[in-house]
Amino acid sequence: MKKLILILATLIVLATSCSHIPFVKKKEVVKKEEKKRTEKVEEEPKPGDIKVIDGIEYIYVRNRRFTLSPNEPEYIWVRKDQYRPGLADTLSGVFTDRQERRELERRIAKLEEELKKKGLQPQVVYPAQIGSYPMIPTSVVIPVPFDFPSPRMKRKVVVLPLDDKTNYKEEKLGETVTRRLISRLEGTGTVVCVEPANIDIKGSFLDLDNMRILNEVYGIQAIISGEVSDVYTTTSKLEGKEEKEISFAVSSISVNVYSTETGTLLKRLSGRNPVSLSREKGEHSVEKARMRAIDLAIEVIADDLLKTVLSIDWHARVASVDKDGVYLNAGRLSGLKVGDVLEVFSPGIRIFDEKTKMSIGIKRGEYKGELEIKELFGVDASLAKVRKGGNFSPSDIVYLKKD
């Protein structure tokens, strides 16, 4: 009997192991393989693929930061309504002629070698930066991709003429770079550049006392100074069906950003354009390549420059007081709107670091009340009514009330 039971048990085990379990395992293997195939399809989309998540379309495109860091993925999903093809996205299709490509590589290598001899290192640049500026009309407001205090208000800055330390002084490149830098900043819709000639100040704008006047009297938050240097160009003619003149250029720009509130240097920035992206051909290719190099060098520093300026909180000043209300030296151009509420303080006290003897900022003075904008007039002025407090004077400073 025991032998019979043992034989039956053995048969049951064998039947189970030979039929049921392998069948189950086979199903599991098939399911796993299907899952892997599905995951593979999801993990390996092709550039240009589009998918919809929660009713929002996303497009699979090249990551503009991929060339900056090896840790960044080469392709990423981006909201389709926020995607704008840049210059870097189209570079692969620009050089189609093999002879032209070889000439391009040869000229770039030669110019880079010349730069190395002069002690200049290759410049790394965000493709997102170099791709936007040359392609966007100046009338289009470029969105600012980071948070900063008083986001609706435009900062007033003074851009001093950049020193020209190039070999093209007769062409006044310093003035050209200054104008293009101002256009780049104002093109973001977040900065107002005040012409230095319109400010009645004697002596250097970077003098500590003059900075305080700029801050409290004119409502200017920052001063930008700098220089343009190391501008080099190279050109050659490519023989073929038609002679094509190809030119490249490099430009170096350095700027200093000063806070008029503290009277100190906030940041020093410098940038040089990638040589390959300054390529121009045809008539006047040298001049066009040089201007393109300048624009690209500006783009290298533009993001950090803007962040530095916008990190300073906005403020304005009481211009005059009469029976009709309180007049301010800021209005539509600065970003104010009818109904905005501002807090009023008496002039503050500059605080110094006892160890460094440097100013660390201005402590707000006595709180005096609140104003509400009821009318915008002139280029950049407004009339406000009193909501709270009183005894306001033309020396008082106003700040946009936080929500």
Q: Quick check: 369 and 325 in contact, CB under 8 A?
A: no
Q: Are residues 118 and 242 in the same domain?
A: yes
More confident residue, 87 or 186: 186
More confident residue, 203 or 403: 203
3-state secondary structure of 332: coil
> What tokens were used for 385?
């009514």
d(CA 60, CA 345): 51
CATH number of the CATH domain containing 344: 2.40.10
Any domain includes 38 = yes
Any domain includes 115 = yes
pTM of the model: 0.64
Domain finish residue from 278, 310, 342? 310
In sequence order, what E strands does 44-151 have?
Answer: 50-53, 56-62, 75-79
Any domain includes 91 = no
The residues near 8 (Cβ < 8 Å, ≥ 6 apart) are: none
Alpha helices for 56-207 (secondary structure H): 87-90, 98-117, 127-132, 173-186
As a whole number, mean pLDDT of residues 170-179 equals 87
Q: Are residues 376 and 302 in the same domain?
A: no
> What tokens were used for 312?
């300073």
Q: Are residues 114 and 234 in the same domain?
A: yes
Q: How many CB atoms lie within 10 A of CB 188?
A: 16
The number of folded domains in the chain is 4
Any domain includes 90 = no
pLDDT one-digit tens code per residue, 234-270: 777 655 545 577 888 888 899 999 999 888 899 999 9
Any domain includes 249 = yes
The pLDDT of residue 31 is above 60 = no
pLDDT one-digit tens code per residue, 292-350: 888 888 988 888 899 899 988 898 999 999 988 999 999 999 999 999 999 999 988 88
Q: Are residues 190 and 127 in the same domain?
A: yes
> Across the chain, what does the average pLDDT equal?
75
Any domain includes 88 = no
**Residue 355's pLDDT is what?**
86
More confident residue, 323 or 14: 323
Q: Are residues 233 and 112 in the same domain?
A: yes
Confidence of residue 92 (pLDDT cuts 50, 70, 90): very low
Q: Quick check: 86 and 64 in contact, CB under 8 A?
A: yes
d(CA 260, CA 207): 10
More confident residue, 120 or 112: 112
d(CA 49, CA 100): 32
d(CA 224, CA 162): 9
As a whole number, mean pLDDT of residues 210-229 equals 90
- Domain range for 350 is 316-400
Q: Quick check: 213 and 89 in contact, CB under 8 A?
A: no
Q: Quick check: 234 and 247 in contact, CB under 8 A?
A: yes
Pairing of strands 155-159, 359-363: unpaired
Q: Are residues 61 and 204 in the same domain?
A: no
Confidence of residue 107 (pLDDT cuts 50, 70, 90): low
pLDDT one-digit tens code per residue, 36-89: 554 444 557 777 677 777 667 777 777 765 544 456 677 787 776 666 554 344
pLDDT one-digit tens code per residue, 260-295: 988 889 999 998 887 777 777 777 788 888 888 888
Q: Are residues 253 and 107 in the same domain?
A: yes
The sign one gets for the Cα dihedral 130, 136, 141, 145 is: negative
Q: Are residues 324 and 396 in the same domain?
A: yes
The pLDDT of residue 90 is above 90 = no
Domain finish residue from 83, 105, 131? 83
Q: Are residues 146 and 15 in the same domain?
A: no
d(CA 128, CA 302): 11
3-state secondary structure of 331: coil
CATH number of the CATH domain containing 123: 3.40.50
Q: Are residues 203 and 247 in the same domain?
A: yes
d(CA 165, CA 313): 33
d(CA 287, CA 174): 15
Domain finish residue from 289, 310, 331? 310
Q: Quick check: 148 and 199 in contact, CB under 8 A?
A: no
Place of tokens 């389709």: 80
C-alpha distances out from residue 292 to 295, 302, 381, Å:
5, 15, 37
Ramachandran sector of residue 185 (left: φ over 0; alpha: ψ -120 to 50; beta: rest): alpha
Q: Are residues 305 and 342 in the same domain?
A: no
Q: Count the residues in the chain.
A: 403
Confidence of residue 222 (pLDDT cuts 50, 70, 90): very high
d(CA 374, CA 385): 7
Angle at 63 between CA 57 and CA 65, to 5 degrees: 140
Any domain includes 37 = yes
> What tokens were used for 314?
């906005």
More confident residue, 159 or 146: 159
d(CA 41, CA 315): 54
Any domain includes 92 = no
Q: Are residues 217 and 356 in the same domain?
A: no
H or E stretch covering 310: helix 285-310
**Residue 136's pLDDT is what?**
36
**Residue 112's pLDDT is what?**
60
